[in-house]
Structure 1
Amino acid sequence: MKAMSKMIQVGLVLSLITFFFNGQVQAQEVVQLTLEESIKYALENNVEAKNAQLEVLISKGVIGENRATGLPQINSTLELTKNIQPPLIILPAEAGGAIGGGGDDPGMGSPDDITVIPFAVNYQSSLTVSVEQMIFNGSYFIGLKAAKTLKALTEFDKEKTEADIIEATKKAYFTVLINKERKELVSANLIRIKELLKETEALYSEGFVEKLDVSRVKVQLNNLQSEFDKVEAAEEISKQVLKVQIGMPVNLEIDLGQSIADIHSLSELESLLSNPGYRRVEVDQINKNLDLAKLDLKNNQIQYMPDIAAFGTFQRVTGAQRFNTLGDPDRWFSSSFAGLRLNIPIFDGLRKSYKVQQNRVQIRQLENQKHYLEENIELERYQSNITLRNAIRTLNVQEENRELALEVFEMTKIKYQEGVGSNLEVVEADSALKEAETNYFSALYDALIAKVDLEKALGIL
């Protein structure tokens, strides 16, 4: 018993150690992601991307389903029947005697003037094989073409979904980068203000500054600490949003393998302004919808034509009064027939005519939507171009303001350290620098988002 107890204790300790080290490995697992890797991961793991790929597979199945309609349709039926109360034929008594029938009703006594004859044996069985082959049906060929058009439409839908995923992934990635840069900047500001506070407290202890000067720096430090906490939370939230967007498990830790400097290029932003744009998948989508509507119109028009099919049936039947003799070879008899079927539509209450009218109206609606879409694409390109142009201009201004504010802060700090400036000027300069840095990152984020919007408008995501 003691040995058993000791083994259990050792097993428990080993399990705890294994769990601890597994937890440590999982906690330390960090996924490095560049922008391109994030996009690739999203296209493979995002739920909408997966469903778009499955829709393409479904459309391939629809093509096969429509093609199968034109192949031979073969069916087989095996039946076994036990006639509990066999069907009866009632004849005059004279006729029954002439054909040798009996005069007794199985269920009751029969009158003298009629003869009741069972019309079936106790057991019956049959094996039937039927074949039908379509020879001509106009809807079949249109259906094949429509299925292929539907497959092309699902391909364009997949492309549109992927473009939307790339757009959302880029914006989420840029958001994480901006928050990461802001966090590093606020952290640097905290270090700077802490040094200033230490210097001010030293000057206060020597009697060179007042208690008010120390309080001002402490207020500035508290505000920066609060801002750091907010930016840190914003960075974590933006990472979670990015993981959800690309379809990554939220329990994994990610670290972006790029910085703003790796992605942000002023020359690249400016080169987009002269790009004329390319094909937009939305136009391809509406064109395929137009093709489907026209095929539907043709299908309803061709319903006025007859269709031809060939058919044939082979049957083996048997019957017996006793079940054990039902399978005797000499009891099976064959029958078969074949033929052609011509179905000629004559009048359907104008149902097809009304369908044709609806198709023509739908085609006009889609043509109107196409015209509206093309105009909106041009407007979107124009607006995105103007937005990016303004964002670049604002970014340049805010970058210059940031550099000037930093220069003012450094000069003010030097003056303060040399005793020719006030503590209030340093605090105000720091506040101005912080505001300039916030404005700069806001302008940088707007420029990156405007870049993505213009890429989408140009069709180059």
Structure 2
Amino acid sequence: MRKGIAVFLTCLIFISFHSTAQQQTDSLLQEATLQNCIAYAVEKQAVVQQAQIDEAITEEAIKSKLSEWFPQVNFNYTFQHNFQVQTSVIGGNPVKLGVDNTSGLMFTLNQAIFNRDVLLASRTRADIRQQAKQNTESVKIDVVANVSKAFYDVLTTEQQIKVSDENIVRLERSYKDAYNQYQAGITDKTDYKRAAIALNNTVAAKRSYEVLLKARIENLKAQMNYPVAAPLQIVYDSTGMEKEILLDTTQGPDYTRRIEYRLLSTQQKLQEANVLYNKWSFFPQLSANGAYNLNYLNNDFNKLYNQSYPASYAGLTLSFPIFQGGKRKYEIRQAQWQLRRTGFDIVNLQNAVNAEYNSALANYKSNYAGYMATKENMMLAKEVYDIIQLQYKSGIKTYLEVITSETDLRSAQINYYNALYELLASKIDVQKALGEIRY
């Protein structure tokens, strides 16, 4: 029996552990492509989840407010013991008005017929829901842009490390050749010492890139809300990314496509409703109400609930404030000024979008020109290095020229990859300015 229980508990622990491990594995990315990283961030990022929670809170708040349209039924219970019953003199005789013990069971009902608070909630519920959804969309757009830029930062550093690895291999070979020539008496020791200096500098640069890479991967994880302890292996296609650099620069900015404009438009609708809401303050509020009461009266507490004296009523309540010191008028004016101010917010947004787009476009064009120049320089530097390397081995060129051409090649390669990913990042800014970022 004990062995059976032990086996059962062991199976339970194994299943629980396996389930937990499976959940942790499922929460990690098998291939951290840009699209996978964006999809992960949109699903897992805390700010997105907070925005979605805000949507749920808004939905419950709407339902709570609309519930006031339904009949409001309440129950009250009272009990009162009078130590001294009030006495009144009637016809010269003192008469007690009441009994020692009173109790009541009261059922009340109230039905709103015209209530401006509930009417406002009913008319604006669609716009309020839309506002909450637009806020979530705005958060997602920022997450997509931030993850994309962080991803490109990681790629830039990884390429710098790869270039450094290639240069180290090349410099190690050059160092061996220079040292062998020195041992053979063909050249003096300055050549191989220059090779050693260049090799050491490249190794040091690689180490700094590796440290920087760790920091940038952690930044990408933070933008994605990815587990800190989990590995994140970036997967990308350099050729495919080079195809993604192009952008239609002839289109102009349309501020109506921006999420900020849609948010302001929704806010404007809500403020228009707020103006109307304040104007409704001049109308009376009307409600139907009724009650059914069971009253219990007796001097003897033990017999208090032996007999009830019911009472009931139904009626209408009309509430109309006559004078409030001009409060309603001032609130209407305040709501109108707020509505007018939002109109200027839209004008400011239009100007800001135009300036943002032109700045992003200028940056993109500048980066594109730099990218094309560095791409050509990289090919030229590779060609020059290969020629000088052959000439050096033939005794035509000095080793100093080899080192110089190798430095030019390394700089051209690093500049090329920096320009490529800066160009892709600037493309994100243009797309965001145009309102084209999708998730």
- 1:156 matched to 2:134? The reply is yes
Return the index of the structure with the highest Cα Rg. Answer: 1
The CA distance in 1 between the partners of 2:146 and 2:29, in whole Å, is 22
**Residue deviations 1:97-153 (CA, integer Å, cap 9, x gap):** xx5xxxxxxxxxxxxxxxxx58431x3321100000111234432232223211111
Deviation at 1:277, TM superposition (A): 5.5
Matches within 5 A, 1:18-417: 31-83=30-82, 85-89=83-87, 91=89, 94-96=92-94, 117=96, 119-121=98-100, 123-265=101-243, 268-276=244-252, 279-328=257-306, 331-417=307-393
Residue 120 of structure 1 aligns with an amino acid whose one-letter code is V
Secondary structure of 1:269's counterpart equals coil
The CA distance in 1 between the partners of 2:232 and 2:91, in whole Å, is 98
Secondary structure of 2:387's counterpart equals helix
**Residue deviations 1:241-292 (CA, integer Å, cap 9, x gap):** 1111111111110111213322232xx4334323445611111111111111
Q: Tell me the matched-pair count.
A: 414
Deviation at 1:30, TM superposition (A): 7.2
Deviation at 1:79, TM superposition (A): 2.1
Deviation at 1:71, TM superposition (A): 1.2
**Residue deviations 1:15-66 (CA, integer Å, cap 9, x gap):** xxx9xxx9xx99xx87421111111111110011111111111221122122
Residue 458 of structure 1 aligns with an amino acid whose one-letter code is L
| Contact in 2 for aligned 1:176/1:235 (Cα 8 Å) | yes
Secondary structure of 1:144's counterpart equals helix
| Contact in 2 for aligned 1:78/1:125 (Cα 8 Å) | yes
Deviation at 1:448, TM superposition (A): 0.9
| Contact in 2 for aligned 1:395/1:440 (Cα 8 Å) | yes
Q: What residue number does 1:459 align with?
A: 435
**Residue deviations 1:358-385 (CA, integer Å, cap 9, x gap):** 1111111111110110122122222222
The CA distance in 2 between the partners of 1:280 and 1:187, in whole Å, is 44
The CA distance in 2 between the partners of 1:30 and 1:297, in whole Å, is 50
The CA distance in 2 between the partners of 1:342 and 1:410, in whole Å, is 96
Secondary structure of 1:256's counterpart equals coil
- 1:442 matched to 2:418? The reply is yes
**Residue deviations 1:220-251 (CA, integer Å, cap 9, x gap):** 11111111011111222111111111111111
| Contact in 1 for aligned 2:59/2:129 (Cα 8 Å) | yes
The CA distance in 2 between the partners of 1:87 and 1:212, in whole Å, is 119
Residue 271 of structure 2 aligns with an amino acid whose one-letter code is A
The CA distance in 1 between the partners of 2:196 and 2:246, in whole Å, is 43
Deviation at 1:413, TM superposition (A): 1.5
Residue 442 of structure 1 aligns with an amino acid whose one-letter code is N
The CA distance in 2 between the partners of 1:422 and 1:299, in whole Å, is 87
Deviation at 1:92, TM superposition (A): 8.5
The CA distance in 2 between the partners of 1:454 and 1:358, in whole Å, is 38
| Contact in 2 for aligned 1:139/1:303 (Cα 8 Å) | no
The alignment yields a C-alpha RMSD, in angstroms, of 2.3
Residue 123 of structure 2 aligns with an amino acid whose one-letter code is K
**Residue deviations 1:271-322 (CA, integer Å, cap 9, x gap):** 4323445611111111111111111111001100112111101111213344
Q: What residue number does 2:408 align with?
A: 432
Structure 1 residues 92 and 270: CA distance shift in structure 2, 3 A:
closer
TM-score, normalised via structure 2 length: 0.89
The CA distance in 2 between the partners of 1:260 and 1:80, in whole Å, is 83
Deviation at 1:326, TM superposition (A): 3.0
| Contact in 1 for aligned 2:247/2:427 (Cα 8 Å) | no
Deviation at 1:404, TM superposition (A): 1.1
| Contact in 1 for aligned 2:99/2:298 (Cα 8 Å) | no
Secondary structure of 2:210's counterpart equals helix
The CA distance in 2 between the partners of 1:350 and 1:286, in whole Å, is 30
Q: What residue number does 1:421 align with?
A: 397
Give 5+ residue unaligned stretches, structure 2.
1-16
